[in-house]
Structure 1
């Protein structure tokens, strides 16, 4: 058995330290609850902002479609009048027959339609949300996630998508001797 000497007696400072520890834990708990409450309030405010923004966008979309329709109708009628005037000019001011005078504006219209179709297909490619899909894939979400580097990798998502080797960080490039940089 162990004898109690002067050094083995219970600490007299134990109760205040335990009280301080309890108070610190209580303060940490209160701070955690306050942080959680603030995060919840922030989420609610963000949800309200997104809902209001979507509502505004929906209203603007309807008006945009209506005004686009008016613009298309006015543009189409103006185009028809210009082509009609061109046909009359070509037939009256030149020696072209009515058939030839009608075919020239038709060819111009077909060329304009082909250019507009090419542009529409080109711009439609931007609707795929490629940058967002790359970032989601980098986080492991989506159909491209198996093809993307891990979030802590130095490789960019675009390089991984194109099969390029990872890039060196900018700090590593500046530390290279000048002879190596000149060759790259």
Structure 2
């Protein structure tokens, strides 16, 4: 290294020496910023996991409380349903007895005809209630779920529904039950020989 007469380094050397610390400073600053960003990211990740854990605990507590409430309510509902059935049945019997007495004494009908009319009325109400029960019982077969599972290839109806990529509606396909297959009108069976219930 050359020096000037007064013992100082040349200006170019001074400039180079002065540039090196400044060139290193941004790199150190960038490392510090990256490290700080990673720390902040880790802290936010831990906070998110903690919040998710708290949410899961709160949901578990809510589900447990809901199940407990439902269990208690189901027992009480069944007990009160039994009371309602008992009192409703006795009220119906008394109503029919009153109708029979009214038809016999007021309208002068014979007892046998009054009894027959009240029995026919009871049979009509029974038939209507049974028909409604069968209609509502259809909703317990989970038809939409069974159709979608069959379309995915799951369940006993998978052979009779369109493939997942087919544009055909599974609902429309199952409305054509029983499916066209060899055997005519014979009930369709699964691989174990059990009759398939229509979807």
- TM-score w.r.t. the length of structure 1 is 0.64
| Aligned pairs (5 A) from 1:22-61 | 22-61=35-74
CA shift for structure 1 position 30: 1.4
Residues 75-111 of structure 1 deviation map (CA, whole Å, 9 limit, x = unaligned): 1111101111222232333454332221111111011
Give me the whole-angstrom Cα distance separating, in 2, the residues matched to 1:23 and 1:97: 100
Give me the whole-angstrom Cα distance separating, in 2, the residues matched to 1:99 and 1:105: 10
- TM-score w.r.t. the length of structure 2 is 0.60
Q: Unaligned stretches of 5+ in structure 2?
A: 1-15, 174-199
Give me the whole-angstrom Cα distance separating, in 2, the residues matched to 1:44 and 1:92: 70
Give me the whole-angstrom Cα distance separating, in 2, the residues matched to 1:54 and 1:41: 20
**Equivalent pairs, count:** 146
Q: Which has the higher contact order (CA 8 A, sep 6+)?
A: 2
The equivalent of 2:80 in structure 1 is: 67
Give me the whole-angstrom Cα distance separating, in 1, the residues matched to 2:60 and 2:125: 45
Q: Unaligned stretches of 5+ in structure 1?
A: 1-5, 165-184
RMSD (Å) for aligned C-alpha atoms = 3.5
Is 2:77 the partner of 1:88? Answer: no
Give me the whole-angstrom Cα distance separating, in 1, the residues matched to 2:163 and 2:45: 35
Q: Which structure: larger Rg?
A: 2
